[in-house]
Structure formats: structure tokens, C-alpha cells
Amino acid sequence: MLDGKVALITGGSRGIGAETVRLFSQAGARVAFNYRQARQRAEALAAECGGPGRCVALEQDLSTPADGRALVAEAVRTFGRLDILVVNHGIWPAEDAPIAEMAEEQWRRTMGVNLDSVFGLVQAAVGQMERQDRPAEEADATGHIVLISSTAGQRGEANHADYAVTKGAIISLTKSLSSELAPKGIRVNCVAPGWVTTEMSAAALGHPEQGPKIAAGIPVGRPGHVREIAGPVLFLCTPLAGFISGEVLNVNGGAVLVG
């Protein structure tokens, strides 16, 4: 389904990102993904998905626009082109931080990772997609960008205003980019997960009091699995989604409707 395509997936060494790398590889794409510290895990995933020539792990911090541009440049150097960008990386400071007490350092760090680097990634990816040749059989599609937001970006999250602000901005960015880029053949969409079982959420979901409260707020009765997020991301980058642009796809078990 994605034969001949090159995808860059950020935050691909674990959780939703790692499962997205697997699905895109299985769909035929050549995949580059970044990691920051987990070198062994990232290299094992790249080997699992075909190794050099099919899947590569790139060490790159993402906290500034320059970081984002550097990662896109390295992915293009590796595979020669870029057809798909999935912006999956992000941080969620787990400890509650009421706004009156939140450290400026935390605010700036969350903005840098979750938003500033996204600007650089998108800017560089769009430039590359506009420059490269468009396959004749895909006259109306130049590329796909999928940004990962959150239910927090739609309804807020008390004591985590920094995170919620960045994820709300991702939704606004999706809509702005869609209006700007759809006429050029670049489809920009957003996936907004709710609670998903990952390392990042493990402490909250496993808490004896908080965990059951979280599950009770999800109409389907449980957190999501990583493949249940990666699957919709893959769908949005296939020809089956060719008429979808600027969409915020909620994948949260119905939680955004009852929170």
C-alpha cells in the first residue's frame, strides 16, 4: 500500500511511535525514525523492520526548530526523498503542576519539545515535498503529514496546562496547514488519542486510585492499545484517505465526549 514511499516518524523508539514504525514498514514504506537516548531499543526496532535500506534509527533530540529541520535533512539524505511525516514525539510532565506553581523551565521545555520542534519538522518536510517529483499515478497527492494531538488539546487538562496548550496548538496547526497545503496536494491531518497504555502513562494508569478513575471516564471501559492509534495514522497516509484533509480524528474510546 505504501510501496515506494518514505516516511519519517518522530518519537519512534517506543510506545505509539514504535508501533507506527512497524505498521508503516509492514505496509511497504521505507521508514526513518528518531530516538534521543534509547539507542539499543531503537536499533533493535530498525533491524526488526528490515534494517539498512528499509528502516533506520536516527539519533536526534527534538526541542528546537533547528532540531526538526536537521532530522528531516538526515532522513532525506538517508532515503533520497520524503513522502510522509508523522509527528508523534512529545513530553507530558507526569507530576501535577498548578499554574500558580508551574516552573517557567517546565513551561519552556514542554513548548520546545511539543511545539517549537514541530515547526521545524513541518517547515522542512513541506519544502522537501514541494521540491521532489510527484508520481504520475498520484497526480493529486504530493505528501502526507499527520500530527499527533490529544484529548487534552480539545478540552484542556487541569494541572497540565503546558501540555494541553501544545496539543491545542497542534490542532490549530493542522487546520491552518490543511487550508494552505491541500491545494498543493499535501494532506495534513491530526490524530488525537486519549489514554493509551504506554511507558509514559504507566504510572498514572497503574495508580491504585487514579487508574480506575481514568478507566471509568472512558466509555469503552479501558485505555487504548498502541496499535489502535498507529492504525488510524497509517490509514490517513494511504490513498483510502485521499479526500480527508484538516481532520482531527479522535481515537479515545469516546472519552472526549464525556470529560
CATH code where residue 101 lies = 3.40.50.720
1 lies in a domain?
no
> In the structure, how many helices (H) and strands (E) does the chain have?
10, 7
139 pLDDT band (50/70/90 cuts)?
low
pLDDT, mean of residues 114-131 = 97
pLDDT tens digits along 104-113: 999 999 999 9
Q: Which of 145, 133, 123 shows the shortest CA–CA distance to 190?
A: 145
Is the pLDDT at 175 greater than 90? The verdict is yes
229 lies in a domain?
yes
Could you give the residue numbers annotated as active site? 163
Do the strands 143-148 and 84-87 form a parallel or antiparallel pair, or are they unpaired? parallel
156 pLDDT band (50/70/90 cuts)?
confident
Residues with Cβ within 8 Å of residue 86, at least 6 apart in sequence: 7, 8, 9, 10, 20, 24, 145, 146, 148, 233, 237
Which domain range does residue 56 map to?
A: 6-257
Q: Cβ-count burial of 61 within 10 angstroms (0-12 exposed, 13-18 middle, 19+ buried)?
A: middle
67 lies in a domain?
yes
| Grid cell for residue 233 | 495514522
Q: How high is the mean pLDDT of the chain?
A: 92
Q: Give me the pLDDT at residue 221, please.
A: 85
Place of cell 520542534: 117
For the chain, how many structural domains are there in total? 1
Is the pLDDT at 74 greater than 90? The verdict is yes
Is the pLDDT at 148 greater than 90? The verdict is yes
pLDDT tens digits along 54-73: 999 999 999 999 999 999 99
| Strand positions, DSSP E, the chain | 6-9, 30-35, 55-59, 84-87, 143-148, 186-193, 248-251
CA angle, 69 as apex, 236 and 245 as ends, to 5°?
Answer: 20
| Grid cell for residue 8 | 519519517
pLDDT, mean of residues 77-101 = 94
State the DSSP code for 220: T
Q: Give me the pLDDT at residue 257, please.
A: 79
Global pTM reads 0.93
Is the pLDDT at 212 greater than 80? The verdict is no
Long-range contacts for 39-46 (Cβ within 8 Å, ≥24 apart)? 41/13, 41/14, 42/12, 42/13, 45/12, 45/13, 45/18, 45/21
189 pLDDT band (50/70/90 cuts)?
very high
Q: What percentage of the chain reaches a pLDDT higher than 70?
A: 93
